[in-house]
């Protein structure tokens, strides 16, 4: 939200109180507490009738500093995010009357200068990172007719806000803030953290995360699960501003200095992604949304894939596995699926996993509505009546996941499906959460709007882990917020079916990766409408070079032969390519689980020292060693940037020197896939399934690189046991040693 009218004035109807000086500074037990009057105190009389802001600095983890700003505290502690990694006892304080106070945590420090003007500065390894200077911390009151930007659709306007501005250096680029489909670099943008069901072609987003990181080596996480408004160099062009409604604001500054290290510390605080089973990396095929289907249709798709030698791992049933107007009653529509247990057993006999679509809304016609209402499991209005509306499903209500009993009731319906043979759930929706409700646990509706979907996904994920065990649970989730990365996989939502839609989808995935999410997918071919065969084939290559891959659409099927025979060939080529890469991809997924580094990485994350990639959002790294550049043009022309080093085309073996742009033209059975200099790529022996013994017939493909010793690890997907390999290069010679002496070989690329 913008509060000012240029440099000198406030907008009409806005009054502001700024932290003017550090009047008192207390240091005790690793904590710094500051009283910041809203004017400079020259004499004792200035302390009367004077609002103050109180700041508290502490450290919950090494290289992380918490800043809390309070105006009035009588309202009590509001709900924040679950900070799984926060601990007590970090941070060392040095304070004196001359220099103020410095809180140091690891290589990160925060210094409060005494007196006026107000100054809070952050340093990493002694290097300036960012600062909060004159008129940078403000408490704002808004009149009813204040000339400020309206709140996002569905969000309430508040009369009181706290805002923090942090300086941006020359050339400093800001990334993250959730899944956003516009430019990857957020400088110059206004971003509203407010989950919405708006597709992929607007400023709205399904996955809003109040966390950003910058090219200067630090990240900032706002611990506010409700509406957070960002002005990234868009109100004060030299500053990044974030504001929240109410009387308190809490944020964390997280030091890197590299993007990966920032994400490692951010996910240590908010949670790392669960480890995923190998089968989830294979190809998923969906019934699509509004298409007609029954078991015969489903079997024709599955058999058609097998007949065409198109390996399939998961079949997904979208909404109409349940009867219309009954969503969600978690019951198979008996008119088209009269024998669900038998059908699921037949699919299992074809070596397939099964996923079904669900959402947290209960339609009035569903028998579960009366059951849930009688139990008190549905969200209520403040007057005690059940909240309902007719959007999506007539008379639908929402499960109140702040009620443990309601959550257990919802989970019991999922357990019944798992007993039938369902392996995974697509957790759709969860964004349009109203404010005129009263939660069971007393949570503020504004704070619960974005957090609701996290409670929903958590409830489902718990059932999957309980029934399948850790490392076997898989969601396919659309909405999320901070912490949602713990519950993979997430997909990009409802897109168009054009080259432009494919490009905006990628931008959303890269922005989400910068927000701490490690696993990501999207609807191959787009969702709305039907793509032309060219778009579909290009999207197949892109989708199968993503961490997770699913065919899905709205009103038309997405089986490849519905487009043309070449689409079948493209699907076969890239599916088998991905399956041969499973020893590499699975290991990258293990690393994501252990460190929070995403599987799909923006170029600026993998090469932060290369200024040429700062704004690059048309290509990415798949793990540390594979560069992928999807083709977004009808004629197959693609511009790809290769950082310094010697790169090898994975499909042709051609060597290319980097440090420059290339313009290439590709047919549908090709795309730019380059292997990084010095890589050792573990290639599996099978291309018919993702879950096989990676060490049986493993080939380590060694690419040109400098002399020295490197270590590569391959993890067995079944047992979880890791096998390290030591690769030694010397004078053009390569040797590899390992505790495992058989079952693998190596080759020079």
Catalytic residues: 428, 431, 494
**Encoded tokens for 223:** 């611990």
Reference 149, options 247, 231, 71, 220; nearest CA is 231
Helix (H, G, I), strand (E, B) or coil at 451: helix
- Cβ neighbour number for residue 100 with a 10 Å cutoff: 20
The owner of tokens 């959402």 is 359
The whole-angstrom separation of Cα 351 and Cα 354 is 10
CA distances from 502 to 294, 400, 438, 616, 649 (A): 30, 35, 40, 15, 23
Contacts of 647-652 with CB under 8 Å at 24 or more apart are 647/674, 647/675, 647/676, 647/677, 648/674, 648/675, 648/703, 648/704, 648/749, 649/673, 649/674, 649/675, 650/626, 650/674, 650/675
Q: Are 185 and 168 in contact (CB under 8 A)?
A: no
The whole-angstrom separation of Cα 263 and Cα 266 is 5
The owner of tokens 């109140």 is 400
Reference 652, options 630, 674, 682; nearest CA is 674
The whole-angstrom separation of Cα 424 and Cα 403 is 24
The whole-angstrom separation of Cα 417 and Cα 57 is 48
DSSP 598-646: -SEEEHHHH-TT-GGGTT--S-EEETTTEEE----STT-EEEEEE-SSE
- Torsion angles phi and psi, residue 565, rounded to 5: -70, -30
Helix (H, G, I), strand (E, B) or coil at 459: helix
Give strand pairing partners of 192: 229
Q: Are 312 and 609 in contact (CB under 8 A)?
A: no
- Cβ neighbour number for residue 640 with a 10 Å cutoff: 23
The whole-angstrom separation of Cα 547 and Cα 556 is 24
CA distances from 364 to 4, 382, 387, 388 (A): 47, 20, 11, 9
């Amino acid at each position: 939200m913008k509060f000012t009218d240029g440099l000198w004035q406030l907008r009409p109807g806005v009054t502001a109180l700024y932290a003017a000086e550090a009047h008192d500074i207390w240091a005790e037990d690793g904590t710094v507490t500051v009283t910041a009057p809203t004017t400079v105190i020259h004499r004792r009389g200035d302390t009367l009738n004077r609002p103050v802001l109180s700041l508290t600095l502490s450290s919950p983890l090494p290289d992380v500093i918490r800043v809390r700003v309070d105006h009035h505290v009588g309202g009590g502690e509001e709900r924040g995010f679950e900070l799984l990694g926060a601990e007590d006892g970090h941070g060392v304080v040095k304070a004196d009357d001359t220099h103020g106070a410095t809180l140091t945590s690891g290589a990160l420090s925060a210094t409060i200068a005494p007196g006026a003007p107000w100054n809070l500065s952050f340093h990493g390894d002694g290097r300036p990172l960012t600062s909060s200077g004159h008129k940078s911390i403000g408490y704002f009151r808004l009149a009813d007719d204040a000339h400020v930007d309206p709140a996002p659709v569905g969000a309430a306007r508040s009369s009181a806000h706290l805002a923090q501005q942090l300086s941006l250096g020359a050339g400093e680029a800001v990334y993250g803030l959730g899944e956003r489909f516009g430019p990857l670099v957020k400088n110059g943008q206004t971003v509203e953290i407010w989950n919405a069901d708006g597709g992929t072609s607007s400023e709205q987003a399904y996955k809003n995360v109040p966390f950003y990181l910058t090219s200067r080596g630090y990240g900032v996480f706002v611990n506010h699960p409700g509406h957070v408004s960002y002005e990234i160099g868009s109100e004060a062009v030299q500053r990044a501003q974030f504001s929240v409604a109410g009387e308190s604001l809490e944020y964390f500054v997280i030091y890197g200095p590299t993007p990966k290290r920032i994400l490692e510390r951010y996910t240590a605080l908010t949670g790392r992604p669960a480890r995923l089973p190998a089968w989830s990396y294979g190809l998923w095929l969906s019934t699509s949304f509004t298409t007609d289907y029954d078991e015969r249709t489903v079997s024709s798709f599955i058999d058609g894939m097998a007949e065409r030698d198109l390996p399939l791992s998961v079949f997904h049933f979208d909404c109409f596995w349940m009867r219309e107007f009954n969503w969600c009653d978690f019951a198979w529509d008996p008119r088209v699926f009269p024998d669900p247990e038998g059908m699921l057993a037949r699919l299992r006999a074809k070596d397939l996993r099964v996923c079904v679509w669900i959402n947290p809304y209960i339609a009035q016609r569903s028998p579960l509505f009366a059951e849930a209402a009688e139990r008190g499991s549905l969200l209520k209005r403040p007057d005690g009546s059940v909240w309902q509306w007719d959007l999506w499903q007539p008379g639908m209500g929402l499960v109140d996941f702040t009620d443990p009993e309601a959550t257990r009731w919802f989970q019991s319906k999922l357990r019944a499906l798992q007993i039938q043979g369902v392996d995974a759930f697509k957790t759709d929706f969860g964004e349009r959460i109203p404010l005129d409700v009263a939660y069971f646990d007393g949570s503020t509706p504004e704070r619960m709007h974005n957090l609701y979907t996290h409670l929903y996904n958590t409830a489902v994920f718990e059932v999957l882990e309980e029934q399948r065990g850790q490392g076997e649970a898989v969601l396919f989730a659309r909405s999320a917020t901070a912490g949602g990365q713990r519950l993979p996989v997430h997909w990009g939502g409802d897109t168009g079916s054009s080259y432009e839609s494919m490009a905006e989808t990628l931008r959303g995935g890269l922005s989400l990766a910068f927000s701490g999410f490690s696993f990501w997918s999207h609807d191959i071919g787009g969702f709305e409408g039907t793509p032309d065969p060219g778009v579909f084939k290009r999207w197949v290559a892109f989708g199968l070079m993503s961490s997770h891959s699913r065919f899905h659409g709205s009103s038309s099927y997405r089986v490849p032969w519905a487009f043309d025979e070449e689409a079948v060939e493209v699907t076969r080529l890239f599916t088998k390519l991905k399956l041969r890469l499973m020893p590499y991809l699975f290991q990258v997924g293990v690393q994501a689980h252990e460190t929070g580094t995403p599987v799909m990485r923006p170029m600026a994350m993998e090469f932060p020292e290369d200024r040429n990639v700062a704004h690059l959002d048309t290509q990415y790294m798949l793990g540390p060693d594979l560069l992928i550049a999807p083709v977004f043009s009808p004629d197959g022309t693609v511009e790809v940037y290769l950082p310094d080093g010697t790169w090898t085309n994975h499909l042709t073996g051609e060597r290319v020197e980097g440090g420059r742009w290339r313009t290439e033209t590709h047919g549908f059975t090709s795309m730019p896939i380059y292997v990084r200099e010095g890589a050792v790529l573990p290639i599996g022996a099978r291309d018919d399934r993702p879950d096989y013994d990676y060490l049986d017939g493993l080939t380590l493909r060694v690419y040109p690189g400098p002399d020295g010793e490197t270590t590569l690890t391959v993890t067995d997907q079944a047992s979880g046991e890791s096998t390290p390999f030591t690769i030694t290069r010397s004078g053009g010679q390569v040797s590899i040693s390992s505790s495992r002496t058989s079952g693998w070989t190596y080759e020079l690329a």
